[in-house]
Amino acid sequence: MEEMPTTTIPHIVVLPYPGQGHINPLLQFAKRLASKGVKATIATTRYTVGSIQAAGITVEPISDGYDHGGFTQAQNEDAYLKSFKHNGTKTLSQLIKKYRNTSFPITCIVYDSFFPWALDVAHQHAILGASFFTNSATVCAIFSHIHDGTLALPVDFEPLVLPGLPPLKGCDVPGFIKAPESYPAYLAMKLSQFSNLDEADFVFGNSFQELEGEEAKSVAKSWPAKLIGPTVPSYYLDGRIEGDKGYGASLWKPLSDHCAKWLATKPPKSVAYISFGSMVKLTSKQTEELAFALMHSDIHFLWVVRDTERHKLPTQFVDATQHRGLIVSWCNQLEVLANGAVGCFVTHCGWNSTLEGLSLGVPMVAIPQWSDQMTDAKFIEEVWGVGVRCREDEFGVVRSEEALFCLREVMEGEKSEAMRRNARKWRDLARGAVGEGGSSDECVDEFVANLKIVKAQKGERCVA
Ligand code: UDP
């Protein structure tokens, strides 16, 4: 009889939602696991498969049902998620079967918490499922309370007081929990993350003990997440993964050389780096106000304005500021944040950007737009003390005077030095967490050890 192949190492497959802010942390987690002797594969949509290239990580296509355009082809978020569930279930199953009789049968699917159906697929095939949350522990705690019924919607009182969390004002929470009807599909998706979480074999959060240990502990019963972050390339933290200088995934082409050359001509800490991430679409009015703030200052700036957003810039802006400013359609954000010429990070407070700012010790000007960004902004300013948050006017717009005031406050104001000190403190704690024996490192080691035990129990040969 032909002998079944034997394996020596566990094989995990990470399955991110196909957005930049989801691929980055899951891919980085895969790299961390691979560095600890696990075979790691990323399963991503056919549309994004060509945008991912990371040493040591296998890239496998699955289908969301929109193979030629991804999300933009879908009618809306709801239709997209339904299609992803239907087609993803089928193609993820096929992927699991593809590896079944090879040297690397799949041991565990680490799925984006947006895809609870992936746990069912994993269990149908008798393999493990680990849910990976890409929001902060605090935001996960809020949604966990809503799911448990310990926080009723709509949240209509201020401040919101939840055990283990600082009091939260109306502007500190995702808008759709005050007005659930405003984004029903998105709210449903946020809550669905918890729908079968009690059946998950592992739960992971992209944060770290020193940063949000208390917040995570406060909901540990419903959200038993191990904090394994920040999932920032190793070069910027512990340096233990050789050559790991970037995420290895880019849905747009980064203008790295152009940025580096331009930054090299600027004095230390003189540049404001401005980015609103991969998804936010500022209103024309908000774009204008920010542009006017920069026009009326003498600050150097590097602003990422995606091509689809560029028409919102005031006509005279580019000419009027070209001696001080560089506008690019996309950059390598980590390289920019790590550049000594950068003095502050004007951010929409997406969780990856927030973690990157903290990990690289760059103080921030927070201009959150929606969802979890509101909560992240509160922590940046009030809890971690690494930035200031711009106040909106009665129409929800950050006016140019306010933006300029906050920029100056962070770059050179009275509290600037204290913010820089705090930023350095969090940077060092982030490095410590992922470094050898750090809090996140221990959680990753524990996961790897568990995977090896499970393989051994299944009768598959494992290295020690
Ligand atoms: N990013 C980048 N280049 C840019 C802007 C953003 O590489 O010009 C990356 C950034 O480093 C981060 C991700 O895109 O890892 C954005 O994720 P985040 O959670 O901050 O925001 P989202 O795009 O999900 O709103």
Domains 11-248+436-457 and 256-428 share a fold: yes
Peptide bond into 10 cis (omega under 30): no
In three-state secondary structure terms, 164 is: coil
Among 31, 250, 278, 369, which is best to mutate for testing ligand 1, by the most ligand atoms less than 8 A from CB?
Answer: 278
For residue 347 and ligand 1, the question of a CB distance below 6 A is answered with: no
Separation of alpha carbons 403 and 398, rounded Å: 6
pLDDT band at 460 (very low <50, low <70, confident <90, very high): low
- Beta-carbon contacts of 50 under 8 Å, excluding residues fewer than 6 positions away, are none
Instruction: Give per-residue pLDDT as tens, 105-131.
Output: 999 999 999 999 999 999 999 999 999
Determine whether 22 is an active site residue: yes
The pair phi, psi for residue 125, each rounded to 5°, is -100, 15
Q: Model-level pTM?
A: 0.97
Closest to 111 (Cα-Cα) out of 186, 185, 47, 42: 42
Among 20, 273, 348, which is best to mutate for testing ligand 1, by the most ligand atoms less than 8 A from CB?
Answer: 20
Instruction: Give per-residue pLDDT as tens, 391-407.
Output: 999 999 999 999 999 99
Q: Which atom of ligand 1 is nearest to the CA of 334?
A: 11
Q: Which atom of ligand 1 is nearest to the CA of 330?
A: 8
Q: What pLDDT does 8 receive?
A: 72
Q: Give residue limits of the domains in the chain.
A: 11-248+436-457, 256-428
For residue 333 and ligand 1, the question of a CB distance below 6 A is answered with: yes
Element (DSSP H or E) covering residue 301: strand 300-304
Catalytic residue among 22, 145, 147, 348: 22
Closest to 403 (Cα-Cα) out of 393, 417, 416: 393
Instruction: For 171-200, give one letter per residue: b (16+ CB within 10 A) or e.
Output: bbbbbbbbeeeebeebbebbebbbeebeeb
Task: Indicate whether 44 pLDDT > 90.
Answer: yes
Q: What separation in Å is there between the alpha carbon of 123 and the centre of ligand 1? A: 32
Q: What pLDDT does 3 receive?
A: 47
CATH dotted code for 256-428: 3.40.50.2000
Q: What pLDDT does 2 receive?
A: 45
For residue 356 and ligand 1, the question of a CB distance below 6 A is answered with: yes
pLDDT band at 455 (very low <50, low <70, confident <90, very high): confident
- Beta-carbon contacts of 311 under 8 Å, excluding residues fewer than 6 positions away, are none
Q: What pLDDT does 155 receive?
A: 87
pLDDT band at 6 (very low <50, low <70, confident <90, very high): low
- Beta-carbon contacts of 40 under 8 Å, excluding residues fewer than 6 positions away, are 11, 12, 13, 14, 30, 31, 33, 34, 56, 57, 58
pLDDT band at 1 (very low <50, low <70, confident <90, very high): very low
Instruction: Give per-residue pLDDT as tens, 410-424.
Output: 999 999 999 999 999
Q: What pLDDT does 7 receive?
A: 63
The percent of residues above 70 in pLDDT, for the chain, comes to 97
Structural tokens at position 127: 């393999």
CATH value of 11-248+436-457 in 3.90.850.10, 3.40.1160.10, 3.40.50.2000, 3.40.47.10: 3.40.50.2000
Q: What is the DSSP letter of 382?
A: I
Instruction: Give per-residue pLDDT as tens, 213-261.
Output: 999 999 999 999 999 999 999 999 999 999 999 999 999 999 889 999 9
For residue 351 and ligand 1, the question of a CB distance below 6 A is answered with: yes
SS3 breakdown of the chain: % helix, strand, coil, rounded to 5? 45, 15, 40
Q: Which atom of ligand 1 is nearest to the CA of 304?
A: 8
Name the one residue in this structure whose structure tokens are 């009889």: 1
Instruction: Give per-residue pLDDT as tens, 308-363.
Output: 999 999 999 999 999 999 999 999 999 999 999 999 999 999 999 999 999 999 99
